[in-house]
A and B are shown apart, each in its own frame.
Chain A
Amino acid sequence: MTISRTARRRATAILSLSVAGVMLAACGSSSNAGSDPTGKPTATGVKKGLTVYFIPKDTQNPYEVLADQGGKKALEELGGKVVVSSGTADTAAAQIPSIQTAIQKHADAIVIAGNDPSALCPSLNQASAAGIKIVSFDSDISCGTSPNHLFINQADTADVGTSEVDLLAKQIGSTGQVAILSAAASATNQNAWIGFMKKQLTKYPNMKLVSTVYGNDDPATSLTVLQGLLSAYPNLKGIISPTTVGISTAAQYLSNHKDVAKKVTLTGLGLPSQMKSYVKDGTVKSFELWNPNQLGYLAGYAAASLASGSASLQTGSTFKAGTLGSYKVLAPASGVGPSVVLGPPTVFDASNVDKFNF
């Protein structure tokens, strides 16, 4: 899929022109002309009264709810407002009416967590054509340059994949069978992380990835596939679950089956609030995550800055994100467009897990 990406991006760029008739941000990578002279941010560079639509994967995902709250806080600080809108199902189709609503309501910016990497592109393109700035977070959209958008990366994608493998390797002595318990098979961020995990695993010749299973972010399904995994691979040493539902389901199972927990080490991405009890009872030694609240907060500031013109998609453009400090737009690289990285993920263990309230 990556081979044809450039060609397709060019093609979609043409579409954006023909459809929108509006040229955005001077087509990013293809041209350096018209670089933003006001690259330096000013504290007052953000307009008041902005409306930012936050469109999470669905309205109930706890992780996203935390992020939305961060966004609300950001816009409150900036004198604007956040509208949260999405469907009940994790599907692109359920998000489209929300995008349409944002267009109808003349929103200034959209912050979206894509349920599908490309199904949302046509709608977002329309939004972009209507002058709405597009910011993606949590799970990126891959629309190329149409619309051109800023991705708020929770952590460097490669970092997440690599660090989780390292974390596990440290705990199991870099040897043994390992497996991955993921969310839905179609989840973009999951698949991207898994890709980097596989890459990193090549550095540990004695660690063997035996299986990747999908729990669809549903506790029951996660439990079923986990149990199947344990039956199939009695010598399994480690499980990486880069999804909050998966890791907490697995942790619950292991904490109740100490015999299994003795043999199998679990790590991945989890919410400290959910994982606290498992870290304390020793089921899980360490796991990581970033602060979803901060992620939303950063996305809110980024969206407001773009909408105010105080930041751009140009590589190196910087903007202030309230209490988080200043951020710089990174150059597009390997399938990811202009992006901003929140920071390295926090590793949680018994020493710090109590300090977080998300």
Chain B
Amino acid sequence: MTAQLTAPAPAPDTERFARGAALLRARELGIGVAIVLVFVATTISNHAFANAHSIQQLLTGAALIALLGVGETMVIVTRNVDLSVGSVVGLSAYIVGDVFKHHSGFPVLLGYVLGIVIGAVIGSINGLITVVTRVPSLVVTLAMLYIVRGVDGVIVNGKTIDPAAIPKSFTEVGYRTFLGVPWLAIIVAVVVAVVGYAMRSFRASRDLYAIGSNPEAASLAGIPAGRRVFTAFLISGALAGFAGSLFLALHAQIDVTGGNGYELTVVSAVVVGGVAIFGGSGTVLGAALGALLLNTINQALVAAKISSFWNEAIAGGLLLAAIAFDRWLGLRVARSLQSAQGAHRDA
């Protein structure tokens, strides 16, 4: 415990670590490269694509899915899944809109808070049922998807919230830019940055990874798995509710279809972003980039004058490619570690 230890950070075999970290970072980098490639390829086929406006649109279009992806990542990391997010977006967007419609002068900021609260309530129901009854979250949130959508339908009952009902200051978030960057993208980027940092830097958030990585070991380590998983669902719900408010701000109108089918898009984005569907690893940044990649492809198809009928097939193929790639990478890393170890042992 002498000189070696007092030296700052560097560990015994820094080199090996560097390789491991590089692999981890490679995922985010890889998606970033993919986004750029799609962008460049599209620009080549249609020069008009490369302009500030397009980029703004790419960011705005991906924002909501990226925001949902943040919460979904927190849940999936614990080896659970939240399929109710799409329904939550629809419900919270409509209720917030309805409040604006019937209470003109309702504080704009409270509109966002209301959305978050609605989402948090549903998220906590998801979490409570999953944790207390130990029914798999896939089933719980699938049921909630139905139930919340049903409740939404009963409340909406064929009505719409028209743009005129929504305060201009509320919808500003949907289109204003700051130094050329859409506010919506800034908000989501801040959420990604904050949650991303938190997921690295706090004990409770590391617990989430531990729970997903090895539930048995987590309970042996005395991690309050129930409370943590509950919190993950709560935050996922709250972010979905927030996304509902932003949905309303962006579109300035809402009927019963809002948010329909988002759940699968979000899960796809998250998995494409490198979050392991069985928990334990993945980052919020990756999930957000996954959402951006999917949206970039969607818009690129239109811009490249390819029929938008290709969107879905490409999204599906991409998801399959992503998980297959992850498995391949995992096997390769395991193999290289093993042979390195063998060599180390033999020496």
Contact = CB atoms under 8 A, between A and B. Distances in A.
Query: Are A and B in contact, CB atoms below 8 Å, in the complex?
Result: yes
Interface in B27-71: 46, 48-49, 51, 53-54, 57, 60-61, 64
Contacts of A88: 149, 153, 256
Contacts of B327: none
Interface stretch (B16-24, B155-163, B207-215): B155-163
A274 B54 contact: no
A165 to B, nearest CB: 22
A228 B304 CA distance: 9
Contact of A232 (B48, B156, B250, B298): B48
A274 B302 contact: no
Contacts of A224: 61, 295, 298-299
Interface string B295-312: 100111111110011000
Given A227-B299, A232-B48, A274-B160, A252 B257 contact: no
A218 B163 contact: no
Interface string B249-281: 011111111101000000000000000000000
A249 B303 CA distance: 19
A257 B46 CA distance: 22
B299 A231 contact: yes
Contacts of A62: 158-160, 255
A232 B49 contact: yes
Given A60-B256, A228-B298, A213 B48 contact: no
B307 to A, nearest CB: 9
Contacts of B46: 231-232
A211 B305 contact: yes
Interface in B49-103: 49, 51, 53-54, 57, 60-61, 64
Nearest to B305: A232
Contacts of A256: 171, 174-176
A282 to B, nearest CB: 14
Interface string A222-234: 0111011111111
Interface string A220-251: 10011101111111110000000001001101
Contact of B49 (A217, A220, A231, A274): A231
B162 A274 contact: yes
Contacts of A223: 61, 250-251
A185 interface: yes
A61 B57 CA distance: 28
B298 A219 contact: no
Contacts of B51: 231, 234
A195 B347 CA distance: 77
Contacts of B61: 223-224, 227
Given A224-B61, A232-B46, A277-B163, A219 B299 contact: no
Contacts of A228: 57, 298-303, 308
A68 to B, nearest CB: 8
Contacts of B299: 224, 227-228, 231
A230 B160 contact: no
A278 interface: yes
A209 interface: no
Contacts of A257: 175
Interface in A51-82: 59-62, 64-65
Nearest to B251: A219
Interface residues of A, number: 41
B247 interface: yes
Nearest to B47: A234
A214 interface: yes
Contact of B157 (A60, A229, A274): A60
A285 interface: no
A42 interface: no
Interface string A274-315: 101110000000000000000000000000000000000000
B1 interface: no
A247 to B, nearest CB: 11
B164 interface: yes
A29 interface: no
B153 A213 contact: no
A253 B149 CA distance: 27
Given A220-B64, A257-B175, A60 B163 contact: no
A352 interface: no
Given A225-B308, A277-B163, A232 B302 contact: yes
A278 B256 contact: no
Contacts of B175: 253, 256-257
Given A224-B61, A229-B302, A232-B303, A252 B153 contact: no
B75 to A, nearest CB: 22
Contacts of A6: none
B257 A218 contact: yes
Nearest to B160: A62
B255 A60 contact: yes
A206 interface: no
A61 B160 CA distance: 9
A252 B162 CA distance: 11
A213 B64 CA distance: 22
A274 B163 contact: yes
B163 A248 contact: yes
A223 B60 CA distance: 10
A273 interface: yes
7 contacts: A65-B159, A219-B253, A234-B51, A248-B253, A252-B252, A257-B175, A260-B53
Interface of A: 59-62, 64-65, 88, 185, 211, 213-214, 217-220, 223-225, 227-235, 245, 248-249, 251-253, 256-257, 260, 273-274, 276-278
Interface of B: 46, 48-49, 51, 53-54, 57, 60-61, 64, 149, 153, 156-160, 162-164, 171, 174-176, 247, 250-258, 260, 295, 298-305, 308-309
- For the complex of A and B, 6 pairs with smallest distance between CB atoms: A228-B302, A256-B175, A65-B158, A232-B303, A60-B256, A227-B57
